[in-house]
Amino acid sequence: MNFLSAMAGINDGEFCKKFTKQGVDVITLGGFNLDLDTFKAGLENMGQDRKEFFTCPHHISEDIDEFIDTITDYNPSWKGKISVNLRASEAASYGVLYKNKQIDIFEINAHCRQKPMLEAGTGQALLTNTTLLEEMLEEVTTNSRKEVSVKIRANVENVDTLKIVELINSYNVDYLHVDAMNPGIDEADYDIINRISSNTDIHIIGNNSVTTREDYLKMIESGADSVSVARVALNGDINHIFQD
């Protein structure tokens, strides 16, 4: 399976629709802010010249449905899945999207590292607040009736990535989306993908610096079951990565 990874403020229906014709099996919309704390953090991010979806949590359900309609109207023959990357400060916040029937995958964002998000207790902060991460995993795997993905950042200071994987592995999670960040190096940490793949049976999505077919193949050879791309998609053409 080939994944388009989330890019906050960018991955809406209009941006994503063209990739239904470029070998993408799963489109990830978002990331989205589900509650007041993460919404405020998003506003702070915008003040720092970052893009965010300026969507009030009370309207997020309707906005996501509109994004999905844009994709399916553009290419009705596409049979892929829709994932939504979600930032929340408490477990109950995910419930706002339980009624959205067009969503296939809930992706818990344990990945974003912008200071406002960390201060809101979301994103990468969940890797050090494993009690809250477990509450979210319990909530979503029990009540969402969706497939569940967790996106993590590898090699975070003072975080044992393999212990986080072990924790996630104890829940009914379908996908483990790994940003194989390699601090100080402009290349993915393929070794961490290999070590993770040896410690879980969850479907691993390898992510980070995949811009060529060679990067894609190396990620697969390192143990990823699937590969995701993000910033390279800003060029509008990712055929060369996902297709021989």
List of residues 6+ apart from 63 with CB closer than 8 A? 53, 55
Mean pLDDT of 152-175: 98
Task: Write out pLDDT tens, residues 103-145.
Answer: 999 999 999 999 999 999 999 999 999 999 999 999 999 999 9
Task: Write out pLDDT tens, residues 9-19.
Answer: 999 999 999 99
Task: Write out pLDDT tens, residues 189-203.
Answer: 999 999 999 999 999
Q: So where are the chain's domains?
A: 2-242
Q: Look at the alpha carbons of 6, 12, 13, 18 in this order and tell me if their dihedral is positive or negative.
A: negative
What is the pLDDT at residue 212?
Answer: 97
The Cα-based distances of 116 to 36, 41, 49, 203 in angstroms read 13, 5, 13, 30
What is the pLDDT at residue 184?
Answer: 85
- Global model pTM greater than 0.75: yes
- Bridging pattern class, strands 81-87 and 2-4: unpaired
Secondary-structure class of domain 2-242 per CATH: alpha beta
> Would the pLDDT of 244 be above 80?
no
Q: Is the peptide bond before 31 cis (omega within 30 degrees of 0)?
A: yes
